[in-house]
Each structure stands twice: as C-alpha cells, then as structure tokens.
Amino acid sequence: MTGSGVVVFVMRRFAVAVPLLLIISFGVFALVHIAPGDPVRSLLGARASDPATLAAIREHYHLDDPFLIQYFKWLSKVVQGDLGVSILGNRAVTSTIADRLGVTIFLSLMSAVLVLGLGVVLGAVGAFRRGTRLDRAVVMFGVFGISSPAFVTGIFLLYFFGALLHWFPIFGPGTGFLNRAWHLTLPALALAISVMAIVIKITRAAMIEELDRDYVTFARARGLSSRRITFAYVLRNALIPVVTAAGLIVVGIVSGAIYVEVTFSLPGLGALTIDAVQKRDIPTIQGTTLLFSVFVVLVNLATDVIYMLIDPRIRFGRVES
C-alpha cells in the first residue's frame, strides 16, 4: 500500500464516522424533547414564564415546526458553529465552552502523558523483572489504582500532598504554563492512577510475550546490544497492543476528568457539564455532550490510522502463503 493507499484508508474511515456523528447529533438534539416536561419549560430555565418570553423561545427554537425540520434547522446552525445560547447567563454556549476547554485539555493531556509514559515504563519494569517483588509491587499498584475511583484517589492525594505536606495547591487551575502544570499535577495524577492499570497490564503481558519470541533470542544470539533489543525488538513490537488500547484509555481519561474537575473544583468542561445538568441548562448540555462525542469518534479514528501506520503487516496486507 502506498501513500495514496493511506489516504484512501483515512477517507474510508471518515465515511464511516460521518453517519455515526449524525446519529449522535440526533440523539443530542432529542434531549430537549426527551427531558421530562414541556420543551418550552426546559428551555425557559429560571427565567420568568411570561407569554412574551415563551413565544420568543418558541420562535427562537422553531418549536412549532415538525420535529425533523427543527432538527435540521438546529444541525445547520451547529455546523456553522452556533450551539445556541446558555439559559444561565445568556451567553453563547460556544464561548462558555471555549472558556472552559483549556483546563480540560491541559488536564487530559497531562494525565494521558502520565498514563502512557509511566504505564509503559512500569509495565516494562514488571516484564523485565518478571516474578520478582518489584514486578508484584507494580501489578499491585495497578490493581489498587483501578479499584479506587478517581475522585477517591483525588481526595486522598489532596489531603496528603495538599493539606498535609503543602507540596501542591489544593484548588484552582493556575495561570501560565508552569503554574498551571503545578496546579494540575494532583488532578492529573488522580486521573492517571485510575486508568494506568490497563496500560501496565497490556504492556507487561505484551513484553513478556515478546521476550520469549524467536526473533529476540535470534537477536541475542547475534550479539546485538541490550538497548537495541529492548527498543527495536521488544518495546516496538509490544507497543502495538498498547496503541490499539490507547483510544480506549484517552476516552477513559476524558470521562474521568468530569469527576476529577468536580473533586478539585477546577473550572473545566466536566465541571461545566455537571453544573449544566444540575441547572437543567439544556443548550449547554447539548453542546458539551456533542463535543465529547465528536472527540470520542475522532480519537477512535486516530487510533485506527496510527495502528495502520505502525504495523506494516496491516499497511501492506499479508501475502498469501
């Protein structure tokens, strides 16, 4: 398969993703109507229900049109980047989201780097020291992390490193890169610990399998350096299953961010969503849900493309023996 083949592959994946996104958008739109009570009431929120306001809402949301027409009118606005107006504060949903996005992206990226970096290193340590106390400690740490929810680990970290030791701030997102990283270390760690077990387990199992392979033995028999064997042979082959799971992990991190933001009172998208749910702010819920869904679809698309790029057996297609 050549460069154009890769393009064809990506296009084909996109073609599958578009209908999926349409279905999701339909579900998100239907939220207004699924929510208990009259949609006008839902959209009214805390405003006074005088007839003029109600009529304005009916007019603004095309509520007198048939359902499908409403959907298409809403969708065409969404495509143009207009997610409607938040019921609270009367701001455009897009600008509320834009305000909050930074913290969530920073938190998720930081924790993804921690999960993948630390997880792969710990998994590799376990595999190389298979059966030793260190190996068992690594596995135990993973099991411990996955069994305690992120908000519990978060509260523990806050108490220990924030309140007792005062190493890290206990609330607020910080400003500027370094200050923000300092502020977000504990939340990112809490988030990372809760999903790291998956990466540790996959890396460890894959590396143990790789260490037993004929080509690793053959590489040793040829006197290659242990660094070359570890990186070009063992790690590179073992990372293929990790990459295939990375999509799942990133999605897990972003959904975990919702709890962690609330725990650490960070003004991120997760906190915004919780807030919106509590206040029945339907346009904001629609906006954040849609954004999360698009993100999940795109992450999966990216995983497929990366998987194809790193495994030549997929890229070239197997020859028939």
Partner 1 sequence: MNTHVASTGHENPLLRVEGLAISHGAVPITTPLSIAVERGETIAIVGESGSGKSLTARAIAGILPPGINATGTVTLDGISLMGLSETELRKIRGFRVSMLMQDPFTMLNPLMRGGDHIDEMLRGRPEFASRAPRAAEVKRRLAEVGIVEDDVARRMPFQLSGGMCQRVALAAALARDPELLIADEPSTALDVTTQAEIIRLLRRIQRERHMSLILITHNLRLAFSTCERIYVLYAGSLLEVGDAAAVERQPYHPYTLGLLLSEPPADIRVPRLVAIRGSVPQAADVVGRCGFADRCDWAKQICRAGKPPLVARDIGRLTACVRQDEIQCELDALRTAALCAAPATPRRDETEGALVRIDALVKTFDGPRGHPICAVKHVSLRIMPGESVGLVGESGSGKTTLGRCLVGLETPTAGDIRIDGIAAADFGAMAKADRARVRRTIQMIFQDPYSTLNPRHSVGQALSEALRASAGAASASTPERIAALLADVGLSAAYATRRPASLSGGERQRVAIARALAVKPAILVCDEPVSALDVSVQAQVLNLFKRLQAEHGLSYLFITHDLAVVRQIAERIYVLYLGEIVEEGPTERVIDDPQHPYTRRLVESIPRSANQHAP
List residues near partner 1 by CB under 8 A: 130, 212-215, 217-226, 228, 232-233, 236-237, 310-313, 316-321
**Nearer Cβ to partner 1 (5/117):** 5
- Smallest distance from the beta carbon of 117 to partner 1, in angstroms? 21
Beta carbon nearer to partner 1, 81 or 223: 223
Longest C-alpha distance within the chain, in Å? 85
Residues ≥6 apart with Cβ < 8 Å to 37: none
Entry field: residues in the chain: 321
Q: Are 277 and 285 in contact (CB under 8 A)?
A: yes
Pick the closer one to partner 1 by CB: 164 or 221.
Answer: 221
Q: How far is the CB of 219 from partner 1 (least distance, A)?
A: 7
Q: Which residue, 219 or 249, has its beta carbon nearer to partner 1?
A: 219
Exposure on the CB side of residue 160, measured as CA atoms within 13 A: 8
What span, in angstroms and rounded, lies between the C-alpha atoms of 8 and 14? 10
Q: Is 237 helix (H, G, I), strand (E, B) or coil?
A: helix
Three-state secondary structure of 93-157: HHHHHHHHHHHHHHHHHHHHHHHHHHHHHHHHHHHHCCCCHHHHHHHHHHHHHHHCCHHHHHHHH
Minimum CB separation from partner 1 for residue 310, in Å? Answer: 8
CA distance 180 to 88: 28
For 70, the 3-state DSSP assignment is helix
What's the closest the beta carbon of residue 231 comes to partner 1, in angstroms?
11
To partner 1, the closest distance from the beta carbon of 221 in angstroms equals 4
Nearer to partner 1, 237 or 293 (CB): 237
Nearest approach, Cβ of residue 317 and partner 1 (Å): 6
Q: Which of 6/88 has CB closer to partner 1?
A: 6
Give the nearest distance from C-beta 129 to partner 1 in angstroms. Answer: 11
- Asked if 112 and 250 count as a contact pair (C-beta separation under 8 A), the reply is yes
CB of 130 to partner 1, least distance (A): 8
Residue closer to partner 1 (CB basis): 210 or 261: 210
Cα–Cα dist 93/114, whole Å: 31
Between 209 and 275, name the residue whose CB sits nearer to partner 1. Answer: 209
Please name the residue that has the structure tokens 């077990």: 197
Q: Taking a C-beta distance cutoff of 8 angstroms, is the pair 96, 86 a contact?
A: yes
